[in-house]
Amino acid sequence: MRPTRAIGTVTRGTTNPNRLRRMDRWIAATHGAAIRRAEEPVAVDLGYGAAPWTAVELLARLRKDVRADARVVGIEIDPARVAAAQPYVREGLSFVHGGFEVPLPGGIRPTLIRAANVLRQYDEAEVAEVWARLTARLAPDGLLVEGTCDEIGRRHVWVALGPEGPLPRTVTFATRLGSLGRPSDLAERLPKALIHRNVPGEPVHAFLTDFDRAWAAAAPYASLGARQRWITAVRTLAETNGWPVTDGPARWRQGEVTVRWDALAPR
């Protein structure tokens, strides 16, 4: 039965158009095949905020790049935000009141749950329980993408989890390369499970330290552009430093790198 009360707390609701474009591009590229196979191609934008821009944009991305009949449900715990979003309802896009219980009609299990900038206000100790609750709602081939970005979407870090949850599979770092001073600038956007672990002795700190060193060593490639410098630094991370990078140059060229979670997980 649907819970009588939405699970979670109201977020600040800060949002901007195009804020989640990097995450959306990655979802379409890496999870698109699963969405195409899905019996119910339903994606959830969980905690979309005070305005529904991110849900509108997710629908446009999925329908353009993945599947023409994809659907997006925006879920917000603040009823006033759900009411404000109703003028944006259209075929394939709806908005409902709810929280981590992910209330979808007819017992639908979504093939994607995207939760961006939602868990920042929670304690680190609460994250695993939220992950477990959300991954339990996924379709068998579904994916939970949870992370944090800056206000205009230049820097973003997210984790990806499957229905086997609650441990993530991967961590992805994504940035607008022209705005990057050094890779560790992304540390301020680490998801809640990692942001307090960026200290000596923790794997994520070691990773970012190696990344900064690889970035510095790749400085001669800056004459060819920030993209070539990033690609060279990521290749060093994988081939010289031994970090388990799971993607390749096609994603690196986008200003991304994805690493196995178990290499960065808190000790």
Q: What amino acid is encoded at 228 in this protein? A: Q
Which residue's structure tokens are 């230049």? 154
Pairwise CA distance, residues 181 & 110, whole Å: 38
User: CB of 43 within 8 A of CB of 73?
Assistant: yes
Helix (H, G, I), strand (E, B) or coil at 73: strand
What DSSP designation does 224 have? Answer: G
pTM of the model: 0.95
Break the chain into its structural domains and give their ranges: 21-168, 177-264
Pick the CATH number of 21-168 from 3.30.300.30, 3.40.50.150, 3.40.50.11540, 3.40.50.300: 3.40.50.150
CA distance 254 to 11: 30
Residue 46 burial (CB count, 10 A): 27
**Cis amide leading into 166 (omega within 30):** yes
Nearest C-alpha neighbor of 217 from the set 232, 239, 238: 232
* Per-residue exposure over 223-235, b if at least 16 CB sit within 10 Å of its own CB, e if not: eeebebbbbbbbb
Q: How far apart are CA 49 and CA 30, in angstroms?
A: 25
Helix (H), strand (E) at residue 260: strand 256-260
Contact 38, 141 (CB under 8 A): yes
Contact at 8 Å (CB) between 76 and 48?
A: yes
What's the first-to-final CA gap in the chain, in angstroms? 38
pLDDT tens-digit profile, the chain (267 residues): 344 589 998 888 788 899 999 999 999 999 999 999 999 999 999 999 999 999 999 999 999 999 999 999 999 999 999 999 999 999 999 999 999 999 998 889 999 999 999 999 899 999 999 999 999 999 999 999 999 999 999 999 999 999 998 899 999 999 999 999 999 999 999 999 999 999 999 999 999 999 999 999 999 999 999 999 999 999 999 999 999 999 999 999 999 999 999 999 999
Retrieve residue 53's tokens: 């821009």
